[in-house]
Amino acid sequence: MRINATNKAKTENKKNRYRGIVLRQLSREILSEFYARKFTFEPLFTVITPRMFANREFGFLIENNGEDKFTRNLSFKTPSELKKYMITNGVKAAYIGAIYQPPPSPGRSITKLKWLGRELVFDIDLTDYDDVRTCGKGKDHVCPKCWPFVVDAALMIEEILRDDFGLSKITWVFSGRRGYHAWVSDEIAKYFDEETREAIATYISPDNPEELVPISYQKKIIRLLLRKDLTMLVKQNKKLFKKTWRELLKRLPRIDKKVTMDTVRLLRVPGSVHPATGKIAIIVKDPQTFYPDDAPTIWEALGID
Ligand SMILES: [Zn+2]
């Protein structure tokens, strides 16, 4: 029966999407159409200020005659110029980097320019939890059983940034596949050097969590990850406490430190399309309740799903 066949196809579609597999061809035409009709700058201008826009570096993945080419060192005088470029080239992926003087230009490495700043960013990806997620559906999968690792990491990171570093302009963006990008847009954070960014990253995600971490951090682990307070926990017997503690340590935020430290690194443009899943890297208002299926795909956004 036709209806059954359609339903079966839909179920298959869902299953595959679950695994983060693109089912349809992400053609230049469809990407151009998306950037012409559906892309807005609102998500981007939530994480960056329009000031110095012309001095920002952008990079793109562009398919040409079946081959993907990565290009960076680009800048645009206005947002509409950037949009025009994305439409004309049907860009497969769009990335944004730091602010430079003079503005980046093709053929001139950014290392030759004066670096003027860049937001503090964090990258959380489920694959960093491969040794502790036991849902066993392969490296690339996302499922409701393991997604809470990412959710807990976001909770810890947000609180540490606010409480321990006094940062407040924090925006969560769906990475488009298996995690979140956190953008910290406080003015002061834009000028943090590599060492400061590394120190913050290491504080959030300790290299050896078994070794003593600050008591304030320990309290956070218990309150946020166990949803209990410390006094309740110490009332339990010692053996159980140790076991619980070991389990909790596995759930500490795991971030890609290189992404945080690297001040010239490019990161996906919020609101753009992830080329492997076709999903849109949307801003997530509440990282505690969001699930990757909540993000629309480019086909859904265009109404052709
Ligand atoms: Zn899973």
The whole-angstrom separation of Cα 106 and Cα 227 is 51
pLDDT of residue 236: 65
Is the residue at 81 inside a domain?
yes
CATH number for position 47? 3.90.920.10
Tell me the average pLDDT across 35-45.
Answer: 97
Is the residue at 107 inside a domain?
yes
Q: Judging by beta carbons within 10 Å of its beta carbon (0-12, 13-18, 19+), is residue 47 exposed, middle or buried?
A: buried
Alpha-carbon Rg for the chain, nearest whole angstrom, is 21
pLDDT of residue 147: 96
Catalytic site residues? 57, 123, 125
Tell me the average pLDDT across 171-182.
Answer: 98
Is the residue at 54 inside a domain?
yes
Tell me which residue has tokens 């910290």: 184
Is the residue at 211 inside a domain?
no
| Torsion angle defined by CA atoms of residues 222, 223, 225 and 227, in that order, rounded to the nearest 10 degrees | 120
What's the CA-to-centroid distance between 275 and ligand 1, angstroms?
22
Tell me the average pLDDT across 195-215.
Answer: 89
Nearest alpha carbon to residue 73 among 39, 98, 90, 49? 98
Q: What's the domain count of the chain?
A: 1
* Model confidence at 19: pLDDT above 60: no
Is the residue at 162 inside a domain?
yes
User: How high is the mean pLDDT of the chain?
Assistant: 89
Kindly report the backbone phi and psi dihedral angles of residue 228, in degrees, each rounded to the nearest multiple of 5, phi listed first: -140, 165
Tell me the average pLDDT across 44-60.
Answer: 97
pLDDT of residue 9: 47
What's the CA-to-centroid distance between 88 and ligand 1, angstroms?
38
Q: What is the pLDDT of residues 279-304, one digit of tens each?
A: 999 999 999 999 999 999 999 999 98
The length of the chain in residues reads 305
Is the residue at 168 inside a domain?
yes
The whole-angstrom separation of Cα 164 and Cα 216 is 9
The whole-angstrom separation of Cα 119 and Cα 101 is 16
Q: Three-state SS across the chain?
A: CHHHHHHHHHHHHHHHHHCCCCCCCCCHHHHHHHHHHCCCCCCHHHHCCCCCHHHEEEEEEEEECCEEEEEEEECCCCHHHHHHHHHHHCCCEEEEEEEEECCCECCECHHHCEEEECCEEEEEEHHHHCCCCCCCCCCCCCCCCCHHHHHHHHHHHHHHHHHHHCCCCEEEEECCCCEEEEEECCHHHHHCCHHHHHHHHHHHCCCCCCCCCCHHHHHHHHHHHCCCCHHHHHHCCHHHHHHHHHHHHHCCCCCCHHHHHCCCCCEECCCCECCCCCEECCEECCCCCCCHHHCCEHHHHCCCC
Tell me the average pLDDT across 106-129.
Answer: 96
Is the residue at 230 inside a domain?
no
What's the CA-to-centroid distance between 175 and ligand 1, angstroms?
17
Q: In the structure, what pLDDT confidence band is assigned to residue 23 with cuts at 50, 70 and 90?
A: low
Tokens coding 176: 């488009």
User: Residue 87 belongs to what domain range?
Assistant: 2-205+253-301
What's the CA-to-centroid distance between 148 and ligand 1, angstroms?
9
Most confident of 2-11, 17-26, 129-138, 150-159: 150-159
pLDDT of residue 1: 38
Higher pLDDT, 296 or 4: 296
Is the residue at 89 inside a domain?
yes
